[in-house]
Amino acid sequence: MDTHEYIQSIRTSGDRFVAVLEGVDLEAPVPSCPEWVVRDLVRHQAGVHAWARTIVGQRLQKSPDRDMEQLVGGWPVDSELLWWFQAGYESLADVLEQAPEQLRCWTFLEAASPLVHWARRQAHETAIHRVDAELSAGQRPVAFDPGFASDGIDELLTAFITRPNRGPRSEHPTSFSVQCTDSGAGWTVYYDGEKAVTERYTDPDADALVRGSASDLYLWVWHRLPQEQAELVGDLAVIADWNQVQVRWS
């Protein structure tokens, strides 16, 4: 995928996020994030957009030393929350569109360039929280394009969980493969007890295999699809260990 496609995805997912939450009680629970209500979801997503927008727009060389409420300048009243959220993601998309290809700023994942990093990260950030919005509204999530979903799986498996101290709580080497039945993409994650290494192929000798459509597996790796709704083969304890791994920003 290219930068333009990522930016368009931010707009599309943002639009969908707003549309499904129109009229939804801000105190309604978010099933996929049990500690949140809808207000928390909107504030979180808007705060992340403001964080990314600040880094890219100001060419910052380190992450801002401010919490989300400070970054956004204070939370709006509930009646203006969705309008304010919409203005924020549209502004983020504009900032990314206007950024030069040679952009230099702080990043936290490996990518072809800082601009690609931020466009890709915010596209998938917004897409996954769009799913949270749909679930909060009692709607079935709209399936993702296989190419986009495969890219999101790739980001998580090759960039997020390969960072130091991101593996499962296991002292023993393990491995599992992820196979998309529609896009043809596949990955195998190897864990040696200290760090994870991901290769872009499926290994027939892996301890376990997770198989399904790219869209379903995208939701699965981000803990938005119950484990039993994916096709699991092999040592299920390995899969259970990896399902305990939580994604963190730093």
What are the sequence ranges of the domains in the chain?
A: 3-136, 162-243
Rounded Cα–Cα distance for residues 142 and 208 (Å): 28
Mean pLDDT (whole number) for 63-74 = 87
Cα–Cα distance measured from residue 162 to residue 156, given in angstroms and rounded to the nearest whole number = 9
Residue that wins the pLDDT comparison between 249 and 182: 182
Closest CA to 219 of 178, 250, 184, 248: 178
* pLDDT of amino acid 247: 67
- Mean pLDDT for the stretch of residues 88-117: 97
Closest C-alpha to 168, from 142, 139, 193: 193
- Residue 52, pLDDT above cutoff 50: yes
The pLDDT of residue 176:
95
Domain 3-136 has CATH 1.20.120.450: yes
CB 194 within 8 A of CB 160: no
Nearest to 166 by CA among 244, 69, 218, 64: 244
Question: Which phi and psi (to 5°) does residue 22 adopt?
Answer: -60, 120
pLDDT confidence band for 250 (50 / 70 / 90): very low
pLDDT of residue 67: 84
Position 193 scores a pLDDT of 81
Q: Is the pLDDT of residue 149 over 50?
A: yes
| Distance, CA of 108 to CA of 48 (rounded, Å) | 14
Higher pLDDT pick, 224 / 247 = 224
Contact status, residue 195 vs residue 162, Cβ threshold 8 Å: yes
Distance CA 248, CA 250 (A): 6
Strands (E), the chain: 174-180, 186-191, 196-199, 208-212, 231-234
For residues 190-217, give the mean pLDDT.
94
Assign domain 162-243 to its CATH superfamily: SCP2 sterol-binding domain (3.30.1050.10)
Q: Phi then psi for 130, rounded to 5 degrees?
A: -60, -40
